[in-house]
Amino acid sequence: MLPIEAVRERFEALAAQFTPAADLTFQAVDAGGVPAEWTGPADVATEGVLLYFHGGGYCIGSIPAYREFTGRLAKAGRCRVLSVGYRLAPEHPFPAAVDDAVASYRWLRRQLGPQGSIVLGGDSAGGGLSLALLIALRDAGDRLPDGAFCLSPSTDLAKEGASMTSRAAVDPLITRESTTRFATFYLGEDGDPKHPLASPLYADHRGLPPLLILVGDCERLLDDSTRLAERARQAGVEVDIEVWDEMVHIWPFFASVIPEGAAAIERLAPFIRARLGRSAIG
C-alpha cells in the first residue's frame, strides 16, 4: 500500500481540479486552537453557521481540498460555513479529532452568543466525527447544535455491517483493506473499534438533535448509515435517511462533475435553512 503521505497527495491533487465559485470568500481563523476557515457568499442572509468536518478516514483530507464543496454548501444554505482542519492520524490518533471538534464548536458557540444557531455537517469520517461531537457535547452538558447532516458517514470502525461484503462488487472507492488500515491508524493497534466516540453506532443516542443522512446504495458503508439511523430512532431521535440509488461513497463531493451530486446538495439546503431558523428564506 502507498504511504499515507502519498495517499494524501493524491487526494489533494484530485480535489485541486475542483475550482470554488468566484463569488465566495475564504478567511482563515484560529477556532479555539484548531485551524479553521470561514467560507461564504457575500450576501449571507443569516447569523447561523454550518460547522463542517471533512472526510478522509481521519487520515487524509483538508480545508483546501474541500473549498469547492463547502462553498457549494454555503451558497445552497445561504449561510457561513466554518470548515475545520482537525488533526489527522496516524500522527494524531483518537481522540485528537474529537478533541478538536469539541474545541472548535465551543469557540464558535462563544462567537455566536446565546442566540446563534449551529448546524453540523460532515462526510464519511467527518460524518462520524459530527455524530461523535454531538455525543461528547451532550455528555458534557453543552448546548447542542440545532441539527446535523451526515453524508455517507463512517459510524462503525469495527466494520460489522453486512454491506461491507454485499456491496463489495459495486463500490469502486472503498475497500475493507483501506478502511481497516485507516481505522488502525486512528485507533492504534490496541484501540477499541467500538468506542462510542470513535464509532458512534455503538453510542447512546438519546437527546440528540434532528439528523439527516444521505448514503449511496452502492457503497460498503451503507449499513453504517442504516443501522445508525435505526438505533437513533429507537432512542427517540428525529432521523431522516435517504438511500440514493446507484450512488457511491460521498458522491455529493463530486457535485461539479455529476448531476446527482448537485442534486444532493440541493436536498441539504432546506434542512440547513430550516435548522438555522430560516426555512422561509430563498
Does residue 281 carry a pLDDT above 80?
no
Q: Which residues contact 195 (CB under 8 A, 6 or more apart)?
A: 94, 187, 202
Residue type, 179: T
Is the pLDDT confidence value at 122 over 90? yes
Is 124 tagged catalytic? yes
Residue 243, pLDDT above cutoff 70 = yes
- Name the active-site residue from 104, 124, 199, 225: 124
Q: Answer yes or no: are the C-beta atoms of 28 and 35 closer than 8 Å.
A: yes
Helix (H) or strand (E) holding 264: helix 259-275
- Active-site residue, from 54, 117, 219, 225: 219
pLDDT at 279: 37
Give per-residue pLDDT as tens, 52-84: 999 999 999 999 999 999 999 999 999 999 999
Is 154 considered catalytic here? no
Are 93 and 193 in contact, with CB atoms under 8 Å apart?
A: no
Residue 106's pLDDT is what?
98
Q: Is the peptide bond before 90 cis (omega within 30 degrees of 0)?
A: yes
Read off the pLDDT of residues 219-232 as tens digits, 9 standing for 90 and up. Answer: 999 999 999 999 99
pLDDT at position 45 over 70: no
Asked about 242 being catalytic, the answer comes back as no
Q: For the residues 125-147, what does the mean pLDDT come to?
A: 98
C-alpha cell recorded at residue 169: 462488487
Give the tens place of pLDDT for each residue, 155-177.
999 999 999 999 999 999 999 99
Catalytic residue among 54, 195, 205, 249: 249
- The backbone torsions φ and ψ at residue 150, rounded to the nearest 5 degrees and listed phi first, read -130, 130
